[in-house]
Amino acid sequence: MGQQGSRFKKKKRNSISAADNRASISSFKEEYNFENPYMMTINETQIDRMQTQHHILRTIWSNNFSAPIKDKLSAGHDYKVLDFGCGPGTFIFDLSSTYPLPKFIGVDFVPIFPTQVPRNTSFLVANIMDGLPFEDCTFDYIHARFLVMYFTQEEWENVVIKELSRVLKPGGYLECYDSEIPWYNMSPSLEKLSDAVQRELFARNIDPLMSRKIDEFIQATGEFEDIQKEQKDIPYGSWGGKIGELSAQTFFQFFEGVRKPIKDIMNINDQGFDKLMKKFESEINYYHTYGKNHRIVARKIEC
């Protein structure tokens, strides 16, 4: 099976009781015996990055989702939403504060979500590679964002999409969102960083352009209809206005998060990495760098 399996063994409990994320992170090492097998470091900077990214995307898309579910969210006492790979839970919090009636559940195998939550919201630790802890046909809407760096194609096809489909109700919507790697209009320094990220992903058997194929994986299940794909460009740098400035910040944070594998694959030390990052930061506006994001929405076929 995939590269993930059960990489952490839960020691004591399912969620950590710390009231804030800071405490969560410092304690999850002991709590979960966590040896991070992924490219991306998990720390406060990365949590900040994910939170800022959520607000950037909401502004760029002028919404949080494309599925035609607004009326159901507004009306729905019995409506159930799952955010798979929820990270710090920003998407869930945004939706659950706008729509008080549905039930919102965030799932991640790393408990970086807050433990103090509104009544209509809960978070669970689970690894999709072991199966999600829900009955078949539980959710009306499932959201899954920024997962391309975590799963091989085989895992997308044989586990992730199938498991999300299993827990989705017939007539419910699956919405996946992901970005392309590499980026566009890259400066020479970004070319180097991007090349290192891609090499590391290939070494992990992960296609950096997986986001372009998610609709095909969904189609291939034969369980979905009305599959729609949208794409938007994300500007990096002040040439893209305030949003561009913010997204450049998250872009720099992203590379900080993969500092270790990049250093290893480029065979450079911290000074070398810092020098490259400085150059990258100074070049970003001149080159008008941008990235491509894909949003895919599909409806599960009713029997």
Ligand X SMILES: C[S@@+](CC[C@H](N)C(=O)[O-])C[C@H]1O[C@@H](n2cnc3c(N)ncnc32)[C@H](O)[C@@H]1O
Q: State the residues that interact with ligand X by CB under 6 A.
A: 4, 50, 54, 85-87, 90-91, 108-110, 127-129, 145-147, 150
Q: How many CB atoms lie within 10 A of CB 247?
A: 24
Q: In what order do the strands lie in the sheet with 80-84?
A: 121-125, 103-108, 80-84, 139-145, 168-179, 290-300, 224-235
Q: How far is the CB of 85 from ligand X (least distance, A)?
A: 3
Q: Which residue is nearest to ligand X (CB)?
A: 87
* Minimum CB distance to ligand X smaller for 99 or for 146: 146
Measured CA to CA, the distance from residue 121 to residue 124 in angstroms comes to 10
Q: How far is the CB of 176 from ligand X (least distance, A)?
A: 10
Tokens of 56: 């950037």
* Minimum CB distance to ligand X smaller for 236 or for 287: 236
Q: How far is the CB of 107 from ligand X (least distance, A)?
A: 6
* Minimum CB distance to ligand X smaller for 255 or for 287: 255
The 10 Å CB-count burial string (b at 16+, else e) for 162-172 is ebbbbbbbeeb
* Minimum CB distance to ligand X smaller for 167 or for 189: 167
Measured CA to CA, the distance from residue 216 to residue 24 in angstroms comes to 37
Measured CA to CA, the distance from residue 146 to residue 137 in angstroms comes to 24
Q: How far is the CB of 279 from ligand X (least distance, A)?
A: 26
Tokens of 154: 């085989």
* Minimum CB distance to ligand X smaller for 155 or for 287: 155
Residue 141 bridge partners (DSSP): 81, 173
Q: How far is the CB of 91 from ligand X (least distance, A)?
A: 6
Q: How far is the CB of 231 from ligand X (least distance, A)?
A: 17
**Going by DSSP bridges, is the β-strand pair 290-300/224-235 parallel, antiparallel, or unpaired?**
antiparallel
With CA atoms as reference, report the closest residue to 181 among 258, 246, 112: 258
* Minimum CB distance to ligand X smaller for 128 or for 190: 128
Q: How far is the CB of 144 from ligand X (least distance, A)?
A: 7
* Minimum CB distance to ligand X smaller for 128 or for 142: 128
Asked if residues 301 and 225 have their Cβ atoms less than 8 Å apart, the reply is: yes
**Going by DSSP bridges, is the β-strand pair 139-145/168-179 parallel, antiparallel, or unpaired?**
parallel
Three-class SS state of 142: strand
